[in-house]
Amino acid sequence: MNAENPLVVIGMDPHKRTVTIEVMTSHEQVAGGGRFTTDAEGYAQMLAYARLWPQRLWAVEGCAGIGKHVASRLVADGEAVVHVPAKMSARVRVFATGQGRKTDATDAHSIALVGVRMGGLRPVVDDDQPEVLRMCVDRRASLGAEHTRKVCQLHKLLLELIPGGAKRSLSAAQAKELLKKVRPTTPVGKVRKAHATELAEDLATISARTKAADKGLKSLLKATGTGLIDLHGIGPSGAARLLVEVADITRFPDRNHFASWTGTAPVDASSGDHTHHRLSRKGNRQINRVLHIMAVVQLRHVTEAAPTTTATWRPTRRPWKRCDASNADSRIWSTRRCSTTSPGTRRRVREGNWVTTLTPARPAHNPMPALRTSHFPDPPPPSLEPPSQRRLDTEGCLRRRRGPRRAADLERGPRRAGQHRRWCDRRRRTPDLGPRFASGPSPHRGLARGVIQ
């Protein structure tokens, strides 16, 4: 960069059919701008207009999303492109003047301001290996979603064809065997069986494609030389997703920034003398899902995550969700940085629990994973009262069967309890059935005795 040709930043707000750009100098002065289409002719006009400034830097919003198609073409033509996160440009737009208006021109202005003010933006590079890995892992994710949708539809039809339906983990071969035994006689049942058969065939095709996608991911991961696949609980799709989303691990200063980016670090919600942390709902949710699956798998086996649940002081509401996910991203951070972890230390996390993090110095004392009490619920309390212990004696008066002393007798004390027992004995000797039976025997007396008994 020299004085005659200063460096300018071209902020771009990309869309599917059009893009809006704004040229800004290092002193935040607007030098130009315009709106162009994304077809071949519009792209050529935009590139010719940008070449009026020899020293230029393209700041494109959403290079991993809607702006990917334009950013890839610019990089292929030899242009310098940096990625501007949408959250960063939105924060700049909030503090800008304009009464909160959001248009393509104001978005391009905010993106250009981010490119001028902020340093350390991630450059967009033309690398075939990460791009191929991203395409394969996205295809594997779509196959998994399609498999889940087909299985749910098949379960619905089988429940209507077979009493009780099929088991939860159902494969295509098992579904075909169940359908062979179904002989519907009504037109509705025949159509239902035909649709279930088609779904079973689709499920078999999806399963074969899923196996092929896993095999391709394993070969691609082996070519990268990563060690993520060796971690317990990380499969081919999880390791590929980590490599694609993280990209350059050196852009995170330390593991705390990495945990905040993955959404596993607790959010400080303290006020005054009350220290409180809550679960983070932010961060990269795809990476957070991979870490959550890794933590759950490790809890089911004897792994490094076992001491995390056994070392808690008191049971609280799911204390292991934050702890094991934090351990998971710590191990991933160490694997990606090619460094060794230190022995486990104890620190305070959400809801005041003390847990053991990182790699333990010795294996867990309990060989079985620690389960919560909700996994083994207690039997429900009885909802019905026991039948009455009262019966009618031969003299027609009510009396209670002999048994342990009642709680009321214990509260009265021994003297008052004795008086009460003597009063009950007098009642037995002089029965009183009320004014209804005062005039003599009644034809309903036997019926009343039977009901009381």
CATH number at residue 39: 3.30.420.10
Whether 257 and 149 share a structural domain: no
Residue among 335, 342, 266, 260 at smallest CA distance from 294: 335
Backbone φ/ψ region at 396: left (φ over 0), alpha (ψ -120 to 50), beta? left
End-to-end CA distance of the chain: 106
What SS3 state is found at 4?
coil
Q: Is residue 407 part of a domain?
A: no
Q: Is residue 12 part of a domain?
A: yes
Q: Is residue 439 part of a domain?
A: no
Whether 58 and 168 share a structural domain: no
Can you give the pTM of this predicted structure?
Answer: 0.61
Domain that holds residue 84: 8-117
**Per-residue model confidence (pLDDT) at position 279:** 86
Task: Give the amino acid at 225.
Answer: G
Whether 141 and 111 share a structural domain: no
Q: Which of 375, 402, 437 is the last residue of a domain?
A: 375
Total Cβ atoms within 10 A of residue 147: 17
Counting as low any pLDDT under 50, the low residues of the chain are 1, 311-322, 339-376, 392-403, 434-453
Q: How many folded domains does the chain comprise?
A: 3
Q: Is residue 82 part of a domain?
A: yes
CB 88 within 8 A of CB 62: no
Q: Is residue 101 part of a domain?
A: yes
Whether 247 and 356 share a structural domain: yes
Whether 327 and 356 share a structural domain: yes
Q: Which residue has the tokens 């594997």?
A: 140
Rg (C-alpha) for the chain, rounded Å, is 37
Whether 371 and 246 share a structural domain: yes
Whether 110 and 133 share a structural domain: no
State how far the Cα of 320 lies from the Cα of 327, in Å rounded to an integer. Answer: 10
Whether 152 and 55 share a structural domain: no
Q: Is residue 339 part of a domain?
A: yes
**Per-residue model confidence (pLDDT) at position 338:** 53
Distances (CA, A) of 79 to 44, 53, 55, 125: 13, 12, 10, 10
**Per-residue model confidence (pLDDT) at position 377:** 53
Q: Which residue has the tokens 């429900």?
A: 380
Whether 108 and 151 share a structural domain: no
